[in-house]
Amino acid sequence: MATMADVARHAGVSVATVSHVLNETRPVRPATRDAVRAAIAELGYTHNTLARSLVTSRTRSIGLAVSAAGNPYFTEIFQGVEASTLEAGYSLLTADPHDDPGHELKTVRLLHERRVDGMIIAPSADPAALLDHLARTRVPAVFLDRLVGDAHDQVCAENEAPTARLTGHLAERGHTRIALVAGAPGLSTTTERIAGYRRGLAEAGLPHVPELVVDGDSRAEGAERAVERLLALAQPPTALVTANNAMTIGALRALRAARLSVPGDMALACFDDFSWADLFEPRLTAIAQPSREIGAAAVRLLLDRLAEPGRAPRTVRLPCAFVHRSSCGCPG
> Residue type at 304?
D
Q: Could you give the CA distance from residue 136 to residue 252 in angstroms, rounded to a whole number?
A: 45
Q: Strand runs (DSSP E) across the chain, as ranges?
A: 61-65, 91-95, 118-121, 141-144, 153-157, 178-182, 213-215, 239-242, 267-271, 285-288, 315-318, 321-323
The tens digit of pLDDT for each residue in 18-51 reads 878 877 767 888 899 899 889 888 887 766 554 4
Q: Distance between CA atoms of 225 and 227, rounded to whole angstroms?
A: 6
Contacts of 272 (CB under 8 A, 6+ apart): 73, 244, 245, 248, 286, 287, 288, 289
Statement: 61-156+291-318 belongs to CATH 3.40.50.2300 = yes
155-196 pLDDT, tens per residue? Answer: 999 999 999 999 999 999 999 999 999 999 999 999 999 999
pTM: 0.82
Q: How much is the pLDDT for 69?
A: 59
What CATH code is assigned to 160-289?
Answer: 3.40.50.2300
What pLDDT score was predicted for residue 280?
A: 73
4-47 and 160-289: identical CATH topology = no
The domains of the chain are located at: 4-47, 61-156+291-318, 160-289
- pLDDT at position 174, please? 97
Right CATH for 4-47 from 1.10.260.40, 3.90.950.10, 3.40.50.300, 1.10.730.10: 1.10.260.40
Task: Pick out the chain residues at pLDDT < 50.
Answer: 50-51, 53-56
pLDDT at residue number 44: 77
